[in-house]
Structures are given as C-alpha cells and as structure tokens.
C-alpha cells in the first residue's frame, strides 16, 4: 500500500481487486449516475478564501460531537456488506476508526453482527444505522441490541422508503456471495439476498420489500419514545425537512443523498448543505457525507457549517486494499490533507474555520 497516497489511488487499486458483482454494488449510483458524479464535482464549485499570518504553529483537529470528543471531524458512514471487500469487513473498519479516535457507523445490512463489531472495537465511538422495517419487531430488537452493545447513537436512514434503482446491480443480478450472511438477522434474510432477485434480477429488490414505505414523522416520535439514544436523521436534503426534524427532537442531521444511490437528479450533498445549516444549524448538529475524497472537501463542508463529515466509499476502498490498515491509511490521508488545508488557510483549530472562508466560484468571476 506504500504507493497509495490519496483516496483516488486506493479507488483505482480497489477497482482492480474487487470482483465485478461487489465493485459495481459499492461504486454504483442510481439511474444515469449524474448525482454520483456531481457529489464529487460539486465541491469544485466552492473555493476556500484563505487567511494568512495567523500563527498556526500549534494545531488541534479535535471536535465534540453529541457530547463526545473525537480526534478529527472525519468519520465513517454506514455502508452495507463490508465482508465483500475484506474477510474482516466491518470488524476491521471499526478497529481502524477506534485507533484513529473517530466515529464508526455500522450499517444494519452488515456482514458482521452488532455484537461482533462491539467486541472488535470496544473503545470505538460507534453509531448504529437503522431502517424501520414493515415488521416493527425486527426494528425494536435491532435497537435494543445496539443499545446493549454500547452504540452511542441511532442513525435513521430516511431516504429509503424503497430501494433505489441501480442499473449495474440489475444487470449483474447482484447477489450476496454465498459464504456471507446478513449477520444482524441471524441468517433470516441471507437466503433472500444470496438468491437472484425476482423482477429486475438484483437480489436487493427482494430485500427492499422489507422496508416500510409508509413511514412518516409520527414514526420519528415513536422511535424517540422507544430509545434513550440520540437520533441522527440521515438523508435529509431540504430546509423544510430539516425544520421538521429539529421540531421532532432529533439530535442531528446527516445531510446525505445515500451515496447518490437512491434517485438520480437529487442535489449533491454539499449543494444541499447550506440551506440545512441556515434552517437548523443553530438548533441541532449537522453533518454531511457524499463525495468527500480530499481534506479540502472536509474544510469546505466545515466552512459551510457542518460539524463533521463522513466517508463511505473511500473506507471501502481502504478496506479492500489493506483491511484495517487500509482504512487507517485512508483516514490518515484525509486527516493529513485536512490539517494542511486548515493550517495553510490560516486556522489552527476547527473553531477557527469561518463561513466567510468559503465562497461559490461565481464570487471570483464577478470581480
Ligand atoms: C433493507 C434493504 O444502504 C445501499 C445500502 C443497503 C440498503 C438495503 C436496504 O446499498 O445503499
């Protein structure tokens, strides 16, 4: 891995290593994948306005998130079925996050169970990503298990009333490799996912049938009454919904378009971020994921007002190339790039990053 020095290097290498079924599952977005491309390219539309002569000799990248101090504002977003990338999957990923002092978010649709991940990373700050299923008993049991295993927040994904249409998975007839199971369901749905799908060919469409498409804001109130954990809503992209979320009493919003995997044509996460910050940034914590692949992206999101960013695919590329070490290296690269962007732009700590330090590119063309 010595020759891999940026996220792109890991991505290229992972593309060479992964079998097609897995690679396409991880890398694909919905439809024509315009949102997928935009998630990354939209960062280029924003420029950092640097300051100088501000004594950056001592630097501190730590932030406090939901009351817990973490070493840097870069965490790991949920992504499904990580043992397809590496035999240790989610367990390797949580160990990397633990050693880097940041947040690991476990997907419900994981190939290592809640309990296995808790055992692999006992001191990691762990969040649990949740879907609310048609069968509410499944949902309740997942919540209690996450609480008992020491997870510190529930990240409820709210952009998935149905499973998005990903053409590559349909063409490949995606299925979970037969040696793997959906570990949180004690094998219950693994069969479904190990088999080809019924209509479009992807087994994910079978699994998608479990999702409760009737969810509404009343379910957020139910969830709040059912758990003592703080709730982060993942997948909010508008100020209107951000206000409803804050009114419903959630602790945070993760601005996300689900890695551009749900509907093509949604905005890039970084494009949606400003209106959400403006609506609720003073009331609740706001984070973002989607397209973060360089430390300058982290700086830009924080300058817009995000408390931290999360990465999805970059961690999967790290996992593919080197298991725990690979994820640690990805986190280290992003941390280093962020520290350089921070210091060279005139900030010695995260609180020094101001809204005035980020502008749309049109700011310069008007001059
Ligand atoms: C219950 C079915 O978030 C993805 C993941 C998995 C979603 C499975 C939902 O692939 O985007």
> 3-state SS of the chain?
CCCCCCHHHHHHHHHHHCCHHHHHHHHCCCCCCHHHHHHHHHHHHEEECCCCCCCCCCCECCEEECCEEECCCEEECCCCCHHHCCCCHHHHHHHHHHHHCCEEEECCCCCCCHHHHHHHCCCCEEEEEECCECCHHHHHHHHHHHHHCCCCEEEEECCCCCCCCCHHHHHHCCCCCCCCCCHHHCCCCHHHHHCCCCCCCCCHHHHHCCECCCCCHHHHHHHHHHCCCCEEEEEECCHHHHHHHHHHCCCEEEECCHHHCCCCCCCCHHHHHHHHHHHHCCCCEEEEECCCCCHHHHHHHHHHCCCEEEECHHHHHHHHHHHHHHHHHHHHHHHHHHHHHHHHCCCCEHHHCCHHHEEECHHHHCC
Q: Give the start-to-end residue ranges of the domains of the chain.
A: 7-160+225-365
pTM: 0.97
> What ipTM did this prediction achieve?
0.96
Given the residues 86, 221, 258, 360, select the one marked as catalytic: 258
Mark whether 221 is an active-site residue: no
The verdict on whether residue 186 carries a ligand-binding annotation is no
Asked if residue 208 has its Cβ within 6 Å of ligand 1, the reply is: yes
The verdict on whether residue 332 carries a ligand-binding annotation is no
Asked if residue 207 has its Cβ within 6 Å of ligand 1, the reply is: yes
The verdict on whether residue 80 carries a ligand-binding annotation is yes
Question: What's the gap in Å between 219 CA and the centre of ligand 1?
Answer: 19
Our mutation pick for probing the ligand 1 site, out of 79, 156, 160, 206, counting the most ligand atoms within 8 A of Cβ, is 160
pLDDT by 10s per residue, the chain, length 367 = 999 999 999 999 999 999 999 999 999 999 999 999 999 999 999 999 999 999 999 999 999 999 999 999 999 999 999 999 999 999 999 999 999 999 999 999 999 999 999 999 999 999 999 999 998 999 999 999 999 999 999 999 999 999 999 999 999 999 899 899 899 987 667 666 666 555 455 667 667 778 999 999 999 999 999 999 999 999 999 999 999 999 999 999 999 999 999 999 999 999 999 999 999 999 999 999 999 999 999 999 999 999 999 999 999 999 999 999 999 999 999 999 999 999 999 999 999 999 999 999 999 987 6
Our mutation pick for probing the ligand 1 site, out of 261, 266, 316, counting the most ligand atoms within 8 A of Cβ, is 261
Fold of 7-160+225-365: TIM Barrel (3.20.20)
Asked if residue 211 has its Cβ within 6 Å of ligand 1, the reply is: yes
Report which ligand 1 atom has the smallest distance to the Cα of 208.
2
């Amino acid at each position: 891995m010595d020759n891999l020095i940026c996220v792109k290097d890991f991505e290229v290498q992972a593309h060479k290593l992964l079998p097609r079924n897995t690679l396409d599952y991880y890398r694909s977005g919905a439809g024509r994948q315009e949102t997928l491309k935009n998630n990354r390219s939209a960062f280029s539309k924003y420029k950092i306005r640097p300051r100088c002569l501000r004594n950056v000799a001592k630097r501190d990248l730590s932030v406090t998130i939901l009351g817990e101090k973490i070493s840097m504002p870069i965490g790991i977003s949920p992504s499904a079925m990580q043992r397809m990338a590496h035999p240790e999957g989610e367990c390797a990923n949580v160990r990397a996050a633990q050693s880097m002092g940041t947040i690991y978010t476990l997907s419900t649709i994981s190939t290592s169970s809640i309990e296995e991940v808790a055992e692999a990373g006992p001191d990691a700050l762990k969040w649990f990503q949740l879907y609310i299923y048609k069968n509410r008993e499944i949902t309740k049991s997942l919540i209690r298990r996450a609480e008992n295993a020491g997870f510190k927040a529930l990240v409820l994904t709210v952009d998935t009333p149905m499973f998005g249409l990903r053409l590559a998975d349909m063409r490949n007839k995606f299925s979970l490799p037969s040696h793997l199971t959906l570990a949180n369901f004690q094998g219950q749905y693994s069969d479904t996912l190990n088999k080809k799908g019924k209509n479009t060919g992807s087994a994910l469409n079978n699994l998608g049938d479990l999702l409760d498409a009737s969810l509404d804001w009343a379910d957020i109130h139910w969830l709040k009454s059912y758990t003592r954990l703080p709730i982060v809503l993942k997948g909010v992209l508008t100020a209107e919904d951000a206000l409803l979320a804050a009114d419903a009493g959630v602790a945070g919003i993760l601005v996300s378009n689900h890695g551009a995997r749900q509907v093509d044509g949604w905005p890039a996460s970084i494009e949606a971020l400003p209106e959400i910050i403006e609506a609720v940034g003073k009331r609740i914590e706001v984070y973002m994921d989607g397209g973060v692949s360089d430390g300058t992206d982290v700086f830009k999101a924080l300058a817009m007002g995000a408390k931290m960013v999360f990465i999805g695919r970059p961690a999967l590329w790290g996992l593919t190339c080197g298991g725990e070490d690979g994820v640690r290296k990805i986190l280290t690269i992003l941390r280093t790039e962020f520290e350089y962007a921070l210091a060279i732009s005139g900030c010695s700590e995260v609180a020094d990053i101001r809204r005035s330090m980020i502008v749309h590119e049109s700011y310069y063309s008007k001059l």
